[in-house]
Amino acid sequence: MLLGAAALSPSIVHAATSWADTERAARGQTVYFNGWAGSERINAYLQWAAGELQRDFGVKLQHVKISDAADVVKRVRAEKQAGRQATEGTVDLIWINGENFAAMKRDALLSAPFAQTLPNFQWVDTAGKPTTLVDFSVPTDGLESPWGMAQLTFFADAKRLPQLPQSMAELLALARSQPGRITYPRPPNFHGTTFIKQALIEHAPDVKALAQPVTAAALEAQAAPLWRFLDALHLHLWRGGKQFPNNSAAVRQMMADGELLLALTFNPNEAANEIAAKRLSATVQSWQFAKGTIGNTHFVAIPYNAPSKAGAQVVANFLLSSAAQARKADIDVWGDPTVLDVARLPAADRARFQSAPHAGQVRQSAPALSEPHASWVDALEKEWTRRYGV
């Protein structure tokens, strides 16, 4: 009980009467949270959150398991086209970022801004982690609340790959020396697209242009060196670069089997997780390129027609609490890095974030590079497909 009170103390101190109203309205509501469910750890974490929310706030959290957030965007859009009003939807909260968020924001599929009104938002590290406010160069405008951090991370078995490449150029050199042992998922798979974006950032003549919406001229000017790089790289990739795996999980499996030298992920703790689950050998290690890799934030957002808007806000606020964030960051639970500024937290809350190092963890974290503007995704994917997809 005391611990619970300590966790809630910031929210109590700063709670405006309106937040108390929200909590009151939320009691008894069911929140349908549509979230990617490809990982049993994530699902188990959400089950834990459901228990806490039920006990402390009387909110029933229902995890709607999906395989692709774009499906949910599509569903909400179809509901809008079918004339559904403000409380007549099927989705209360959605796990989202990037182009899916950009699409929902553009088409006005989201409810009123709410993120900054959440009592726990004050602890978010908006200065140190600017991507908590700008999602793929699109301002969030309070339409989504940050949940966790992600950064492009590579992992490999040290037994097979003692010398870790530290840039795309070094990766190309490695591919030349060991042909057929490297690949990346086929875009538009988002890990594959991220790999392309990382190469783009490392090769673009003017990185600042990537923060602006894409134009035909900008694509031509900025991406020309990227295509030259990929032309060279593909010759030495797995299956001659004529074929690409469907997703990062397939890459990971092939790495684990020894068919590939390295795999990639957005969760810096994924390899540590997999080692703990006995699916990767303990000699696997994770790293990020020395000059940095693409990083972003994932969020939760409330659709315009969510029936349980108050409940959804209570859930979003709970997910930002130090208790929930610390548990999520724990490698034995999920290992998803926190969006909070841990140094600014009260001592008791700060203590929750300390944990022993795990095998396979990133030892030396590198700077997080900003995502290009969300509009680049589609343009890059189309051009990639035209060049290499057929």
Shortest CB 149 distance to other proteins, Å: 19
390 binds other proteins (CB under 8 A): yes
Binding mask 214-253 for other proteins (x = CB under 8 A): ------------------------xx--xxxxxx-xx-xx
How big is the site for other proteins, counted in residues (CB under 8 A)? 60
Q: Which is nearer to other proteins, 278 or 363 (CB)?
A: 278
Residue among 308 and 322 whose Cβ is closer to other proteins = 308
- Find out whether 319 and 99 touch, Cβ atoms under 8 Å: no
Rg over alpha carbons for the chain, rounded to the nearest Å, is 21
- Residues of this chain, 144-183, that bind other proteins according to CB under 8 A: 180-181
Please spell the DSSP secondary structure of 179-216, one letter per residue: TTS---PPTTSHHHHHHHHHHHHHH-S-GGGGGSPP-H
Residues 35-64 that bind other proteins (CB under 8 A): 36-40, 62, 64
Q: What does the alpha-carbon distance between residue 323 and residue 6 come to, in Å, rounded to a whole number? A: 10
**Are 152 and 296 a contacting pair, CB within 8 Å?**
no
- Nearer Cβ to other proteins (100/325): 100
Told to check if 65 binds other proteins by CB under 8 A, we report yes
As a whole number of angstroms, the distance between CA 222 and CA 226 comes to 8
Beta strands in the chain (DSSP E): 30-36, 60-66, 93-96, 134-135, 138-139, 144-151, 153-157, 262-265, 284-287, 293-301, 368-369
117 lies in the binding site for other proteins (CB under 8 A): no
| Residue 328: CB minimum distance to other proteins, A | 17
60-66 and 134-135 beta bridge pairing:
unpaired
Cα–Cα distance, 238 to 230 (Å, whole number): 13
Interacting residue with other proteins among 1, 2, 13, 82 (CB under 8 A): 82
Binding mask 253-282 vs other proteins (x if CB under 8 A, - otherwise)? xx-xxxx-----------------xxxxx-
- Residue 32 as a binder of other proteins (CB under 8 A): the answer is yes
Indicate whether 24 belongs to the interface with other proteins (CB under 8 A): no
How is residue 77 written in tokens?
């859009």
Rounded to whole angstroms, how far apart are CA atoms 44 and 38? Answer: 11
Task: Name the residues that contact other proteins, by CB under 8 A.
Answer: 32, 34, 36-40, 62, 64-68, 70-75, 77-79, 82, 90-91, 99-100, 103, 180-181, 186, 188, 238-239, 242-247, 249-250, 252-254, 256-259, 277-281, 378, 385-386, 388-390
